[in-house]
Structure 1
Amino acid sequence: MTTTDAHPRDRVTTLLHCRLLRAAAFALVSYKAVYDGLTAEAGIVDGAAASALVAAGICAALPLYRRLPVAVAALAVAGFLLESQIWPVLIALYCVTVRRPAPVAIGLTALAFVPAAYGPFRELVNMDQVSYLPCAVVTVPLAFGLAARSHLRLARSLARQLDHLEAANRLRDERVRLAERARIAREMHDVLAHRLSLLVLHTGVLQRRGAEAPDAVRERLGLLRDTSAHALDDLRDLLGALRDHEGPAPLGPTVDDLPSLIAESEAAGTRVRGAVDEAGELPGLPAAVRLAVHRIVQEALTNARKHAPGEPVDLTVTVRRPHSRVEIRAANSCPPQPTSPGTPRGYGLVGVGERVAALHGELTTGRGDDGRFVLRAQLPVPPHHSTEGARRMAGAVQ
């Protein structure tokens, strides 16, 4: 994976690793500085003790670089005037460059030129005049610090972009779910309104033809008709806001449209294999289940045409008895190349998942054992639902 293709989270992880490396460097430098001070020549014991104290003070301050990097750097430079411990100075200047504005880092680097050129470090390189080598050395952390700060800013920017992208995806998912809920509500409004209208109609017919019926029966028929009419009005008031203002919503698709849906896919070059409701039990299921079956099959065939054009699709839709559930399975070849991060993601499966969840069903998607993309859905059928009664009602509606 190249740097440009690296995931933002990976860059943040790399940044954390860099921090751990810096902490390890601090520990190493602390040990080296104190060790050098304690192992000085025996002839200058007092000087060695002073050197050890100075080095220990400098290195003890290094862990504070995250809070007080400027103070740590100033202390390191001051200690550099007394003892030739250049490593704490270099790391302190690097930390300041990474965590503070560039002018501050440049100023401290310039300040470090004084002990580097005229301090004890000059004697280590056997130069009687101004030591240019230490001056050049103290500029190294400035260069590395500027590069590290640029990398740090880039990693933080990528992390923020990733957070914004994830938030946008969550919002889009939520909008898709809300749109699917509104669509379900509109479809169920059409179905329930039609059935309530049919109930009002049949009750009115019975009321007119039951003139010779007892008064109690005619009174009950009138009450039933009024209650049905009021329920229809309440339903329209409750769900009418979900309709578009341009006009009534079109009738939702049903399982009766599955053959035409399959024929449309085959005309587009996607061959559909398998068995779809060979027992002919789908028309007798509740309207919500029938609508969900159509929506799931539609999304499965659409995904197959989009991601594996020309490849066959194995589709089965079965009503399981006596457990009263509908099982849907669609399998098709996966695309030869994985989807790149920049490819717009589809939200059809999000809407299908919302519809399945509304019916307390189960939906699973992913690669199967054979490497193909498999969509499985199970939709429960209410145990009190009567298939024969539903068929008679469907015939009456027609």
Structure 2
Amino acid sequence: MTRTEYPWLLPSAMAGAELPGDRARARRTVRDWVVDILAFLIAAGIALIALAAIENEGSTPDAVLVVDSVIGAAACCALWFRRRWPVALAAALTVLSIVEPVAGGAMMVALFSLAVHRPFKPTAFVGAGALIVAPLQPWLRPDPETGYLTSVIFGVLLILLVLSWGMVVRSRRQLVLTLRERARRAEAEAELRAEQAQRLAREAIAREMHDVLAHRLTLLSVHAGALEFRPDAPTAEIARAAGVIRDSAHEALQDLREIIGVLRGPGDTGEGERPQPTLATLDGLIDESRRAGMKVTVDQRVAAPADAPAATGRTVYRIAQECLTNARKHAPGAEVTVTVTGGPGDGLTIEVANPAPTEPSERVPGSGQGLIGLTERATLAGGRLEHGPTPDGGFVVRARLPWPAA
């Protein structure tokens, strides 16, 4: 995830972005009522303190006190519109506070609300105006108990404090909004990654289904074809072919049940997982192919096949299984040579080769995806696979897989 992909994560974009609560709601929530009442009470409290200080001077006419009271009350009531017009209200109260000290509290609340609900530019503009006119109010209506310079410094510091506090609150809201967006985006990306992982797992299961069932079903097809074209075969051969068909059908059902079990969710079946093939079980695959009538020559040069890594051994097994299946399909009657060499640190090399077919026979149709799946399987295991025809019309598949040193 990059910032250019999601511009709302940029600080500059967030600084000018509209945050929740910046616009006035059609109907105030309970929180809005509580905050607005609290702001009104704070402004009214400051206005009462200022009005009491003016009254204690003793030199202010009663008419002026009445006007100050009315204007102060109106300034406090105007705060109910601070969400709708924060910039205009803050500017108006700033101008009003020049001649009315009782409007100072409402001005501070308006400046704070402006800093919270509006970006930096309008806040800085109105805040600068408030700082510029800050010396005018003590000059027009000085406080006898406080010096002019002290009043100016106190007013400037108070304005800066309110503006800073408001901008800190807005920055925190921006941070929370950014974190929420990032969390939402991360959750969405996690869901996409989970879906992608599930899709890749299903593709792997589909390739596994092709490798396993193609081997079993090819045996069924070969022996069923033999029974069809040689109905006068000896009883022993018919019985052996029928036995291979039965065993292959049973194994195909077992493999299919295993694959369906993987596709099911956990707890949907009580069957345990069947052991996965390894390099040590390669001999069983060769024996099965020989019983099916294939001519297979094995050159096994691995000293300890049981010590091979599980993933590497399983990949070698699947490569040999697919190659034997393809040989039965496309080169019936040809002798297949399986060579396995290597060891820890040197890696494992498997080569399956067959010459051109010597017996004409009806070939079993194939999808052509087996070698593609083997190439992907070898690549995922950290190795490589090569395949192609030989000069004599045969075919060879050669794969090299890693076997780390102990």
Aligning the two structures, in what range does the TM-score lie when normalised by the shorter sequence? 0.3 to 0.5
**Normalising by the residue count of structure 1, what TM-score does the alignment of the two structures yield?**
0.45
The structure having more radius of gyration, on CA atoms, is 2
TM-score normalised to structure 2 length? 0.44
